[in-house]
Amino acid sequence: MLSIISHNECRDHDAGPLHPESKARLDAINNQLIMSGMDYVVRHHDAPLVTREQLERVHDSDYLDRVYALAPGQGMESVEVDGDTVMSPGTLRAAERSAGSGCMGVDLVMSKEANPIFCMVRPPGHHAESDKAMGFCLFNNIAVAAAHALEAHGLSRVAIIDFDVHHGNGTEEIFKAEPRVLFCSSFQHPFYPFTGHEKETDNLVDIPLSAGAGSAEFREAVSGHWIPHLRDFKPEFVFISAGFDAHVADDMSSVQLTDADYEWVTRELKSIADEFAEGRIVSMLEGGYEPDVLARSVVKHLDVLLG
């Protein structure tokens, strides 16, 4: 049964009134789930707080110390971690819930209590490197979840697929030398964070997309590059960094994907999971900054996962 992991504290992260990464994103998804009727056929779970042990599998201890020392207490002013990343009094708890959601998702899937899982959380995570916050991200949520599958459950091959419009630089930095992880990423290039280039190695498959690229370019790249590597790798678990900011109606980028593209790529990834990974999927919300478009795209994504 499809399960959604989230927590009300994920709404308490406040990056400022003009910041695109706002609680309105979660509110829009919740509303669309209710309007579509999907809310009544999924199971909801509250995200737990991530543990220090879980974070230290992918983040440096000194970096974590800095984050916790920097976090403002209740009633204090927000602080800038970098030009894009802000910590308000509610941010640390939201980030702990976001990172904890993926570990809970893995545990639920591995125990066969639920599958697949969608982590409807914020702040996002895929830009956070082992020792650096950036791009709205403090903890690399998807990396924490993947490492949990490897270390707590003894898996030997997990795949992370990232279709956010921004390169998942943090996930790539964390796992670039880890043969147990295959990382596949598509992204607009050149574009923030100005990392990533076309590459295909044993465990990294980067697909840069030009500004203006649409369905044909995206689907050709996925079919011609991601899918063969995924089939050769035979993952035991599929993780999805589900960013929806490559949508044509999202002003964050110049890539022109549609609702149908997210439906299609989800179906392709579900097919891989069904064939090689006993259907095991944890999908983690990343970007998507036009709330109505984000909500519609997420429901398309979940509809395929629900089957």
Catalytic residue IDs: 127
H-state helical runs in 214-290: 215-221, 227-233, 259-276
Give residues with Cβ within 8 angstroms of 278, minimum separation 6.
236
CA distance 266 to 305: 7
Provide the residue type at 78 as one letter: S
* Three-state DSSP class for residue 274: helix
Question: How far is residue 282's CA from residue 269's CA, in Å, rounded to a whole number?
Answer: 11
**Stated length of the chain:** 307
Q: DSSP assignment, residue 193?
A: T
Q: Are strands 117-119 and 158-162 parallel, antiparallel or unpaired?
A: unpaired
Q: How far apart are CA 158 and CA 149, in angstroms?
A: 8
| Residue 295 DSSP class | H
